[in-house]
Chain A
Amino acid sequence: MSEYRDPEMVEKYLSELHKIVTRTWTIMEVCGGQTHSLVKNGLLNLMPKEINMVHGPGCPVCVTPVNLIDKAVWLAIEKGVIMCSYGDMLRVPGSKQSLLEAKAAGADVRILYSPLEAVKIAQDNPNREVVFFAVGFETTAPANALSVVHAHRMGVKNYSILASHVLVPPAMEAVMNDENAVIQAFLAAGHVCTIMGITEYYPLVEKYRVPIVVTGFEPVDLLQGILMVVKQLEKGEYRLENQYSRVVSSEGNLEAQKVINQVFEIEDREWRGIGSIPLSGYEVRKELEHYNANIKFDVNIEKVPENAECIAGLVLKGLKKPHECPQFGKKCTPQMPLGAPMVSSEGACAAYYHFSMAMEEVT
């Protein structure tokens, strides 16, 4: 992988970018992992000032609604389940408590690397209920679905998932449909496309007349993707291109898509800070609903308004940069976050906070 971090390659791409750019372009990188890499590697400061990168909604932890956090906390505390989760979710504030606070109060909350481990925990604890907080975009959906397939195949009855699954293309549409949208091109999320392929982005290119380049995560990947986008923009073109062909094929991973369709169906989803987006997420299929924690435990938690001081919705739609929030670094820090983008390692607010040197240059 070292060639994708090679300073000389970075230098070449930067110099080419400086050579061809003639005016300001606003480009959104959709994926939080790309945001993290751009900020961490200092690329925002090295690129021509005409290139304005805005950070997209591609951080599943960031867009998981408060209500779902409240449900996870309720299951852990009131129902006494073993609540398993990816580590990023633990600090995200619910309306009263985060999962981390629930754990401190005695709930059995466990951080896992893979959802497949949760099924093993269920097997090892036949007298307890085990719930996996299945958060993620298309990249994570096959693994989360696979946990249900494993449980089903092995007859594990004490396992279910609390799904918070969101999809990238509808989120890109929501970003473009905002009346204040200023995005002129997208870097599409490389690993999402590893699973889903690239064909679902052709209609977006045509509908919004914007270049979309499927892009990877290393510095050279990102600069190459940005260069491909800027070349199109400068020529007045809009096409779908694939920078990340070493792992992204046109059709994606068909086996993974099969498992997703076996376990999930598409439904409307609530996005934290953005609101409801039609057909923008996955829920467990009706015929497998005994693996859906919402149904199994008859979860019904009242919705409460979001924290009014947090401008996460504007940040996630690329309308504000994190440091433009009055609470940034003051009332809102990774230790005491007001909203999820300050918690997740891929949240734009956390990236700006942790790499504040970069932020000062950018501002």
Chain B
Amino acid sequence: MCLAISGKIKNIEMQYGGLVRMAKVQFGGIVKEASLEMLPSAKEGDYVLVHVGVAISLVNDDEAKSFQYLAEIGELDDLIEHT
């Protein structure tokens, strides 16, 4: 139920009589509409997390987080050799 998927905002248009910002969001090969009412600052090109047709969060591009944690446990060097 709480499944939410991240995708990239392709474009934004006003709907519902000009009151609601709706985005076309690309998930892999699929494009679906999502309301941006919960994310007033979202803009084209942003990655957003979408749940039942509503974008609920920007996805911070700090994928470094996991890598940082690996570094803390002293495993990063090993991983870098493989990538």
Q: Is A192 an interface residue (CB 8 A)?
A: yes
Task: Report yes or no: A346 in contact with B52, Cβ–Cβ below 8 A.
Answer: no
- Taking CB atoms, residues of chain B closer than 8 Å to A8 are 79, 82
Count of CB-CB pairs between chains A and B under 8 Å: 121
Interface of A: prevailing SS:
helix
Task: Report yes or no: B37 in contact with A346, Cβ–Cβ below 8 A.
Answer: no
Total number of A residues with any Cβ neighbor in B under 8 Å:
49
Task: Show the binding face of A for B, using Cβ within 8 Å.
Answer: 1, 3-4, 8-9, 12, 16, 31-33, 58-61, 86, 88, 113-117, 135-137, 139-140, 142-143, 146, 150, 153-154, 189, 191-192, 194-195, 220, 224, 245-248, 253, 255-256, 259, 344, 346
Interface string of B57-73 (1 = CB under 8 A from A): 11111110110011001
Contact among A33, A140, A146, A247 with B59 in the assembled complex (CB-CB below 8 Å): A247
Task: Report yes or no: A3 in contact with B63, Cβ–Cβ below 8 A.
Answer: yes
* A146-B35, A245-B65, A246-B63 known; A137-B56 Cβ under 8 A: no
- Tell me the minimal C-beta distance from B81 to chain A in angstroms: 10
Task: Report yes or no: B69 in contact with A135, Cβ–Cβ below 8 A.
Answer: no
- Taking CB atoms, residues of chain A closer than 8 Å to B70 are 9, 12
Total number of B residues with any Cβ neighbor in A under 8 Å:
37
Q: Which of B20, B38, B61, B82 has the most CB of A within 10 A?
A: B38
Task: Report yes or no: A140 in contact with B60, Cβ–Cβ below 8 A.
Answer: no
Q: List B residues 13-29 near A (Cβ within 8 Å).
A: 16-17, 19-20
Task: Report yes or no: A114 in contact with B53, Cβ–Cβ below 8 A.
Answer: yes
Task: Report yes or no: A135 in contact with B1, Cβ–Cβ below 8 A.
Answer: yes
Contact among A16, A191, A253 with B75 in the assembled complex (CB-CB below 8 Å): A16
14 extra interface residue pairs, beta carbon distance < 8 Å, beyond A136-B2, A346-B1: A33-B1, A33-B3, A116-B35, A117-B53, A143-B53, A146-B37, A146-B38, A150-B16, A191-B3, A191-B56, A194-B4, A246-B63, A247-B59, A255-B37
Task: Report yes or no: B63 in contact with A146, Cβ–Cβ below 8 A.
Answer: no
Q: Is B31 an interface residue (CB 8 A)?
A: no
Contact among B16, B40, B52, B60 with A86 in the assembled complex (CB-CB below 8 Å): B52
**Chain A, residue nearest B3 (CB):** A33
Task: Report yes or no: B69 in contact with A224, Cβ–Cβ below 8 A.
Answer: yes
Task: Report yes or no: A253 in contact with B37, Cβ–Cβ below 8 A.
Answer: no
Give CA–CA (A8, B75) in the complex, Å.
11
